[in-house]
């Protein structure tokens, strides 16, 4: 259980000082935009340590953590098996730029876990994995164009950073300066969960190399696919000779051991993995059939390389994590805790007068241990609906939860992650905190000055 000290003006004193110093040396004081708290106000918390489900900041405040490093920490922070694997491996060296048996061992585990993968290539980030998979798809089909969904984030490579959700949505930047239009014109945008839009693109474009999609959207909040949606994408790709790429950087090993494709009985041509596959260390991967993957250099002509790809520490952490997930599967417990959290949020909102109110309402969404709480008066099924959410209400909710000892991702458009370390007391304390946070949102609305509608 987390001790939640009374909110005081000096509660975050050291974090505030640390952030001011960071701003002198880092753009915006951070190394990834969402960490700057621009969407929720105030200065970010600076973390000192974490264990299990609990994060401790440099002011010694403790929080139940639902950021979870944005997905990798399915076992919680610093699980003993993973720390031991990293430590033991580091004693023999941290990087070689040469093959190791650890690479082969983790590759074999990935191939065994993910039915659509025969061969896998390790890289360092999800951005690299998706970028490389698309390069392979273009080479294999001889076509230039890529279909992606608005609000789905596939990394910050030039051709994909277009209406990308998550941090880009939070900052109100649908694209980014520095990306030539000659590159983006080969990316075709469609709404998530809209089969007819995909069909329409295929009917008017004969040069589509691939459809790349998060099978469960996680960067506009957690949004599951509608029934039959993924299968229809599979059928359309087959019909038109395009490849289907699943970006399972977030969902791989998270919603099932074999990822979302196991959960939904799907078989993409290429799969991108990240986060959990590296056990919390920088690591990602892409893989598919032998026919496709044997086109990668040095076996084939499609080039991709990386000095730190297959880093032994990341391989060791990934092996330890996947061994735990395979030998003692946590998925039933994760599903139970996720459902308890969602039902508790609904109940807390209703008790606080949020649900059913004329001004502020919530919609919850969940797939396994991926959870979202949208401040919206309608169910959210795509990015276009997600950006209509009440982000001001979420910001108030976030700050109130922080004050009650609960750390949420600092954006309405980021998914919350439940880990194996989140037990029933953690979930109940979160629900109790949420009640007070919902009350704070409701009270703030009741004291706001109504707009002047006089002509």
Phi then psi dihedrals of residue 406, to 5 deg: -125, 120
Residue written as tokens 């629900």?
Answer: 431
Strand, coil or helix: what is 172? coil
User: In terms of DSSP bridges, do strands 119-123 and 416-417 run parallel, antiparallel, or are they unpaired?
Assistant: unpaired
- Residue 452 in any domain: the answer is no
- d(C-alpha 387, C-alpha 332), whole Å: 32
- Residue 262 in any domain: the answer is yes
For 279, left (φ over 0), alpha (ψ -120 to 50), or beta?
A: left
**Beta strands per DSSP E along 46-201:** 47-51, 54-57, 62-65, 119-123, 145-149, 187-190
Q: What is the CATH number of the domain that holds 308?
A: 3.40.640.10
pLDDT tens for 102-150 read 999 999 999 999 999 999 999 999 999 999 999 999 999 999 999 999 9
| 151 and 261 co-located in one domain | yes
| 284 and 428 co-located in one domain | no
Q: Is the pLDDT of residue 286 over 50?
A: yes
Q: What is the mean pLDDT of the chain?
A: 91
Q: How buried is 88 (Cβ within 10 angstroms: 0-12 exposed, 13-18 middle, 19+ buried)?
A: exposed
| 189 and 269 co-located in one domain | yes
- d(C-alpha 280, C-alpha 283), whole Å: 8
State which of 327, 349, 380 marks the end of a domain. 327
| 251 and 349 co-located in one domain | no
According to the model, what pLDDT value does residue 159 have? 67
| 146 and 267 co-located in one domain | yes
| pTM, rounded to two decimals | 0.92
- Residue 6 in any domain: the answer is no
**Which of these is catalytic: 37, 63, 66, 153?**
153
**Which of these is catalytic: 38, 145, 148, 275?**
275
| 358 and 391 co-located in one domain | yes
| 273 and 391 co-located in one domain | no
| 148 and 126 co-located in one domain | yes
Q: What is the CATH number of the domain that holds 337?
A: 3.90.1150.10
- Residue 453 in any domain: the answer is no
| 250 and 378 co-located in one domain | no
State which of 295, 327, 359 marks the end of a domain. 327
In this prediction, residue 175 has a pLDDT band, given cuts at 50, 70 and 90, of low
- Residue 341 in any domain: the answer is yes
Of 14-23, 25-34, 355-364, least confident by mean pLDDT is 355-364
According to the model, what pLDDT value does residue 89 have? 98
| 235 and 282 co-located in one domain | yes
Structural domain count of the chain? 2
According to the model, what pLDDT value does residue 158 have? 63
In the annotation, is 153 catalytic? Answer: yes
Structural domain span for residue 176: 80-327
- Residue 2 in any domain: the answer is no
Q: Does residue 327 or residue 184 have the better pLDDT? A: 327
User: Residue 320: in which H helix or E strand, if any?
Assistant: helix 312-327
| 296 and 400 co-located in one domain | no
State which of 327, 348, 382 marks the end of a domain. 327
According to the model, what pLDDT value does residue 169 have? 40
**Which of these is catalytic: 59, 65, 247, 392?**
247
Q: Does residue 41 or residue 420 have the better pLDDT? A: 420
- Residue 72 in any domain: the answer is no
- Residue 282 in any domain: the answer is yes
| 95 and 188 co-located in one domain | yes
């Amino acid at each position: 259980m987390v001790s939640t000290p009374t909110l005081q003006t000096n509660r975050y004193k050291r974090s505030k000082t640390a952030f001011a110093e960071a701003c002198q040396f880092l753009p915006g004081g951070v190394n990834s935009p969402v960490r700057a708290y621009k969407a929720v106000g105030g200065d970010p918390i600076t973390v000192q340590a974490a264990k299990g489900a609990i994060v401790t900041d440099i002011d010694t405040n403790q929080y139940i953590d639902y950021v979870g490093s944005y997905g990798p920490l399915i076992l919680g922070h610093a699980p003993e098996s993973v720390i031991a694997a990293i430590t033991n491996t580091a004693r023999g060296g941290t990087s070689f730029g040469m093959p190791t048996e650890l690479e082969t061992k983790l590759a074999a585990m990935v191939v065994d876990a993910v039915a659509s993968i025969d061969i896998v290539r390790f890289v360092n980030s999800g951005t690299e994995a998706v970028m490389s998979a698309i390069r392979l798809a273009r080479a294999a089909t001889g076509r230039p164009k890529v279909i992606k969904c608005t609000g789905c984030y596939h990394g910050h490579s030039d051709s994909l950073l277009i209406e990308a959700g998550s941090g880009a949505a939070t900052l109100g930047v649908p694209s980014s300066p520095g990306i030539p239009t000659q590159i983006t014109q080969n990316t075709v945008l469609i709404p998530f969960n809209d089969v007819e839009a995909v069909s329409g693109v295929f009917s008017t474009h004969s040069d589509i190399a691939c459809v790349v999609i998060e099978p469960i959207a996680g960067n506009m909040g957690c949004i599951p696919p509608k029934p039959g949606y993924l299968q229809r994408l599979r059928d359309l790709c087959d019909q038109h000779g395009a490849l289907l790429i699943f970006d399972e950087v977030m969902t791989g090993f998270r919603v099932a051991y074999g990822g979302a494709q196991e959960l939904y009985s799907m078989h993409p041509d290429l799969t991108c993995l990240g986060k959990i596959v590296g056990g919390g260390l920088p690591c990602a991967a892409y893989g598919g059939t032998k026919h496709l993957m044997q086109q990668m250099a040095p076996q084939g002509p499609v080039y991709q390389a990386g000095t730190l790809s297959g880093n032994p520490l990341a391989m060791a952490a990934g092996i330890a994590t996947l061994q735990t997930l395979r030998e003692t599967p946590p998925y039933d417990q994760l599903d139970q805790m996720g459902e308890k959290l969602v039902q508790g949020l609904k109940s807390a909102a209703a008790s606080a007068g949020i649900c059913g109110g004329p001004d502020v309402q919530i919609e919850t969404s969940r797939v396994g241990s991926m959870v979202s709480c949208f401040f919206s008066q309608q169910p959210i099924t795509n990015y276009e609906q997600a950006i209509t959410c009440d982000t001001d209400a979420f910001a108030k909710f976030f700050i109130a939860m922080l004050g009650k000892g609960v750390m949420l991702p600092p954006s309405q458009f980021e998914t919350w992650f439940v880990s194996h370390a989140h037990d029933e007391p953690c979930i109940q304390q979160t629900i109790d905190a949420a009640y007070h946070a919902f009350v704070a949102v409701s009270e703030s609305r009741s004291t706001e000055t109504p707009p002047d509608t006089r002509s």
